[in-house]
Amino acid sequence: MTPSQELRQQFGDIDIYLFDQLLRGRFDGRKRILDAGCGAGRNLPFFLAHEFEVCAIDRDPAAVASVRTLIGNRGDVRQGGVEALPWEPASMDVVICSAVLHFAHDEPHFDAMTAELWRVLRPGGLFFARLASSIGLEGALPAVRGRMQLPDGSQRFVVDEQKILAATALHGGSLLDPIKTTNVQNQRAMTTWVAHARTT
């Protein structure tokens, strides 16, 4: 088995920025996770193999079926939107929302999704999101937030740094890492938003 095959067997196709959080101990002692907008479950194999309690939700029935096959009876998989999560408040140790928030229809929809993600997060819980932003692309995009066409031709709901900071504060969170953005050759920018829910 090649090194890449071995890594894929252990971690699946996990988001590299999520893998970084694992390496840094951010999941230590946090065993109940929600993958909100889970897709086919690319981020879940490691957690399933290490006895995390996995919850997942996606709007796409095919994605939900795929994750149910992957998880079996080791977790709770639902079909639905991130803006209306079916779990109790403060019921998750970790909320993962990778490449989902930028599919918001508009700002109220984005706000509803983020409000739900923070609602289910326990005090001290870990919030991890990757989403499209204007950070580093200010010269190529309109000077507004919202749904727009990016230079790569895709349509995304784009946030700026102030929107992320304001949402973190609104929901009683604190950044765990500085906001980090990957600029993909001035075609799109993907920002990693890592925070935790305050305990007091």
Instruction: Collect all residues with Cβ–Cβ distance below 8 Å to 129 and sequence separation of at least 6.
Output: 96, 97, 98, 100, 101, 117, 192, 193, 194
- Note whether residue 139 is domain-resident: yes
- Confidence check: pLDDT of 101 > 80: yes
**Same structural domain for residues 121 and 135?**
no
- Confidence check: pLDDT of 200 > 70: no
- Note whether residue 181 is domain-resident: no
Give the lowest-confidence range in 25-34, 76-85, 132-141, 162-171: 132-141
**Same structural domain for residues 13 and 48?**
yes
- Note whether residue 25 is domain-resident: no
**Same structural domain for residues 5 and 66?**
yes
- Note whether residue 63 is domain-resident: yes
- Note whether residue 187 is domain-resident: no
| CB burial of residue 162 (10 Å; 0-12, 13-18, 19+) | exposed
Q: Taking all residues of the chain, what is their mean pLDDT, rounded to a whole number? A: 94
The whole-number pLDDT of residue 83 equals 98
**Same structural domain for residues 111 and 151?**
no
CB 39 within 8 A of CB 59: no
| Prediction pTM value | 0.94
Q: Model confidence over 123-178: pLDDT tens digits?
A: 999 999 999 999 999 888 876 778 988 999 999 999 999 999 999 999 999 999 99
**Same structural domain for residues 59 and 4?**
yes
At 137 the three-state DSSP class reads coil
Range of the domain at 162: 131-175
- φ/ψ of 128, rounded to 5, equals -130, 125
- And the tokens for 25? 């101990």
Per the document, the length of the chain is: 200
- φ/ψ of 39, rounded to 5, equals 60, -140
At 81 the three-state DSSP class reads coil
**Same structural domain for residues 60 and 146?**
no
At 37 the three-state DSSP class reads coil
**Same structural domain for residues 139 and 117?**
no
Q: In CATH, what number is assigned to the domain containing residue 110?
A: 3.40.50.150
**Same structural domain for residues 61 and 110?**
yes
